Amino acid sequence: MPFGAHMSISGGIANAFARGAQVQCDTIQIFTKSERQWQAKPLTADDLAAYHAAQERTGIRPVVVHDSYLINLASPKDDLWERSIAAFAEELERCHALHIPYLVTHPGAHTGSGEEAGLRREAEALNRLLDAGVGGEVLILLETTAGQGSALGDKFEHLARLIELVQHEERIGVCVDTCHIFVAGYDIRTPETYTHTFAEFERIVGTQRIKVLHLNDTEKELGSHIDRHTHIGQGQIGLEAFRMLVNDPRFRDLPMIIETPKAKAMLEDVQNLAVLRGLQNQAAPAQ
């Protein structure tokens, strides 16, 4: 079971591997460019060579990419929508050039047009890119969201609808974020609620669609729709949910990536990953 964390690419994309190795990551998530800017400096042959050499040296794989926070493929505004499509195409092509298998994206926000209109808009954008073969075989992973404002993706039905509308469904998977599903209203704290939530996911979407898990505890309450990550076992979710996740045979081979708060030395990542690894092969406490 590969455990890892989101790593900075400061100083060059290849540097993420050394940072991941420093905190004993098996897998990492990165941005391939600034997540707060539209433009990106093109990847050079030297960038690609350094990246692949660092990956070989550390053995960290798979790498997962998260796209820019500026992208909104569900926007009803044509200018933002077209700009988002161009930016997402670039994200896909950068993953393809780096041989990265997964690109995680939030399903976007309808900003007042309504859920169905937003989902159709998102699917139209994805269909345009996938029809053109952008990104080779890179899988687009729709991330479950907290559902703040008009954000889509806080209901399992949103993911299922997008998969239904996208013509190349073999290029679509899901990234489940524990903080996000919890604050969206899906309880996973007890064996009963955990079983119910993933039975619902199986019924509506299919657990075979899950390719990556973001393991984050949350400061905020069940159903609050407020996205505030915190350290594993120290928030509203608690340790039991993470114990069940890391011992769930359905998810045994999936990258499990933390996006928890950390300082420059990343000691918090070391601690959170140690907690998760310590939960493996551990029976639930007696009631």
Question: Of 47, 90, 154, 177, which one is the catalytic site residue?
Answer: 177
CB 191 within 8 A of CB 241: no
69 counts as catalytic: yes
CB 141 within 8 A of CB 211: yes
Question: Of 6, 19, 106, 158, which one is the catalytic site residue?
Answer: 106
196 counts as catalytic: no
47 counts as catalytic: no
Question: Of 227, 231, 243, 269, which one is the catalytic site residue?
Answer: 227
Question: Of 19, 171, 229, 231, which one is the catalytic site residue?
Answer: 229
Question: Of 56, 57, 69, 137, which one is the catalytic site residue?
Answer: 69
36 counts as catalytic: yes
Q: What is the 3-state secondary structure (H, E, C) of 165-192?
A: HCCCHHHEEEEEEHHHHHHCCCCCCCHH
Cis peptide bond upstream of 249, omega within 30: no
Q: What CA–CA distance (Å, rounded) separates 71 from 67?
A: 8
177 counts as catalytic: yes
6 counts as catalytic: no
180 counts as catalytic: yes
Question: Of 110, 214, 231, 243, which one is the catalytic site residue?
Answer: 214
Question: Of 225, 259, 268, 277, which one is the catalytic site residue?
Answer: 259
CB 184 within 8 A of CB 221: no
217 counts as catalytic: no
For residue 56, count other CB atoms closer than 10 A to its CB: 11
Question: Of 19, 61, 180, 243, which one is the catalytic site residue?
Answer: 180
227 counts as catalytic: yes
Question: Of 66, 110, 158, 243, which one is the catalytic site residue?
Answer: 66
CB 140 within 8 A of CB 178: no
Which residues are catalytic, by number?
36, 66, 69, 106, 143, 177, 180, 214, 227, 229, 259
